[in-house]
Structure 1
Amino acid sequence: MRYFFHIAYDGSNYRGWQRHPYAINVQQVIEDALQRILKKPVNIVGCGRTDAGVHASQFFFHLDMAEPWEFDLLFRLNKVLPPDIAVFDIIPMEGLPHARFDAIQRSYDYFIHTYKDPFLSNVSSLYLLDNLNLDNMKVATALLPHYHDYRALCITPADHTSTICNITSADWFINANGSRLRFRISANRYLSRMIRIIVGKLLRIGTGKLSIDEFESYLAGTSLPRHLTPAHPQGLYLSKVTYPYLDINPRSSFATALYNHTEAGWQPF
């Protein structure tokens, strides 16, 4: 039987989702916890990868079990896992749906604060920027869904079998006093550090260090940027994963407050 696990995590203490031998990661922590509870080795498959320090307010992984467990696994797993990883739902699935390959859309949010605030340092990225040209940032952002090859805005394009990404929407929001920004993007897939690179380029447009035409030339593939500097990781959240057969809202009340236009005061610009 295949099960989908609906989770969220604060990525501050992890070198990303995927298991690797170099440092602690979210997948390793969850697999170790499941092995401790189920008394057998387990392998889980996540809905994607996140970079070191990046968060997920919604994430799914799948696990195959020959026999169902006869206890409250949701309770036990949350008890064993550290406070920065939460499991919200365990969903039995018919057939063999795939947590990674079946996802049709993933949405990310990137949060920025433009003033120093120690209580935002792990959940938003600090950029001490004044007088950003929001109009130019909006114009450049509107170009994203019109282009599909993001080779020029990827750290390691050779690592991907394809650099084609279908971005369905990209928007900026600002809070009431203009001190916080939020970038939201939705697509079928992403490349290495692609979102953080895009945010970095859009901020350069806002400061006048990069023109809209030059940015569009990267999207069109007519020129390559001299430098690829990703935006800081801690402002980035995987915030929504959608399947043809599964479309549920994030469960974290903190995340809901961050994303909700009314509660957080976010307005599009």
Structure 2
Amino acid sequence: MRYFFHIGYKGTNYRGWQRHPYGVNVQQTIEDCLLKILKVPVAIVGCGRTDAGVHASQFFFHLDVEKPWAFDMLFRLNKVLPPDIAVFDIIPMVGMPHARFDATQRSYDYYIHTYKDPFLSSVSSLYLLNNLNLGAMAAATSLLPLYSDYRFLCLTPAEHDSTICHVTAARWLSDKNGDKLRFQISANRYLSRMIRILVGKLLQVGTGALSVAEFESYLATEKAPKALSPAYPQGLFLSKVTYPYLDLPARNAFSAILQNQTDDYWQVV
């Protein structure tokens, strides 16, 4: 029997979602906790990957078991998991839907604050940038859905079978004072470090170091950037994962301080 687990996590203390031997990761942490509860080793399959230090307001993984458990798994798992990982829902599925391959859209938020604030340092990226040209950044961002080959805005394009990504929406938002920024993007898939690279380049557009036309040349694969510098990881949140058969709202109460603001706190640039 297959279950989908709807979770969220703060990625500060983890070397990403996926299991690997190079440090503590979210997947292994959850699998170890499930081992304590079920008394047998299990393997879970996540809806994607996140980099070291990146957070997830919404994330799904699936788990297969021979028969349903006869106890409150939601309560037990949350009790043994560390405070920075939370399980919101456990959903029994019909058939064998796949947490990763069945996802049709993933949305991310990237948060920036332009003044030093110790309470935001782990959930938003500090960029001491004044007088950003938000109009130019918005103009460059509006180009993203018009192109689909992101090979020049990927750290390791050769590692991907395809560099085609279909961006369905992208925009910048700002608070009323203009000292907090929020980048939102939705697509069917992403390449390695793609969102953080995009944010880095769009900030260069905002400072005038990069023109909108030059940014578009990367999207049109006419010209490769001289260097790729991904934006800091701590500002990035996987915020929404959508399936044809499952479309749950994110549990924003778990999310970062910055995400708990109401929608009218943010204004579209």
TM-score (norm 2): 0.98
1:244-259 matches, within 5 Å, as 244-255=244-255, 258-259=258-259
Separation of aligned partners in 2, 1:23 and 1:259: 28
Q: Note if 1:223 corresponds to 2:223.
A: yes
Counterpart in the other structure of 2:120: 120
Separation of aligned partners in 1, 2:118 and 2:264: 18
Kindly tell me: are residues 115 and 257 of structure 1, through their superposed partners in 2, closer, same or farther at Cα, counting changes over 3 Å? Answer: closer
RMSD: 1.2
Counterpart in the other structure of 2:158: 158
Per-residue CA deviation, residues 159-196 of structure 1 (Å, 9 max, x unaligned), is 10000000000000000111100000000000000000
Counterpart in the other structure of 1:33: 33
Shift of 1:263: 5.2
Counterpart in the other structure of 1:42: 42
SS of corresponding position for 2:58: strand
5+ residue gaps, structure 1: none
Per-residue CA deviation, residues 78-132 of structure 1 (Å, 9 max, x unaligned), is 0000000000000000000000000000000000000000000001000000000
Counterpart in the other structure of 2:189: 189
Shift of 1:255: 2.9
Kindly tell me: are residues 211 and 17 of structure 1, through their superposed partners in 2, closer, same or farther at Cα, counting changes over 3 Å? Answer: same
- Contact residue 109 and residue 237 of structure 1 kept, 8 A: yes
Counterpart in the other structure of 2:136: 136
Separation of aligned partners in 1, 2:141 and 2:261: 19
SS of corresponding position for 2:112: strand
Per-residue CA deviation, residues 202-257 of structure 1 (Å, 9 max, x unaligned), is 00000000011111010000110010000000000000000000001012415397
Separation of aligned partners in 1, 2:254 and 2:74: 20
Counterpart in the other structure of 1:59: 59
4+ residue runs over 4 A deviation: 256-261
Separation of aligned partners in 2, 1:258 and 1:162: 34
Kindly tell me: are residues 268 and 150 of structure 1, through their superposed partners in 2, closer, same or farther at Cα, counting changes over 3 Å? Answer: same
SS of corresponding position for 1:237: strand
Per-residue CA deviation, residues 60-79 of structure 1 (Å, 9 max, x unaligned), is 00000111111111101000
- Contact residue 8 and residue 254 of structure 2 kept, 8 A: no
SS of corresponding position for 2:255: helix
TM-score (norm 1): 0.98
Separation of aligned partners in 2, 1:79 and 1:254: 16
- Contact residue 175 and residue 264 of structure 1 kept, 8 A: no
Shift of 1:261: 6.8
SS of corresponding position for 1:70: coil
SS of corresponding position for 1:172: strand
Kindly tell me: are residues 70 and 44 of structure 1, through their superposed partners in 2, closer, same or farther at Cα, counting changes over 3 Å? Answer: same
Separation of aligned partners in 1, 2:60 and 2:197: 25
Separation of aligned partners in 1, 2:262 and 2:232: 26
Separation of aligned partners in 2, 1:75 and 1:264: 34
Separation of aligned partners in 2, 1:148 and 1:40: 43
- Contact residue 7 and residue 86 of structure 2 kept, 8 A: yes
Letter in 2 for 1:20: H
- Contact residue 252 and residue 260 of structure 2 kept, 8 A: no
Number of aligned residues: 269
Per-residue CA deviation, residues 39-71 of structure 1 (Å, 9 max, x unaligned), is 001000000000000000000000001111111
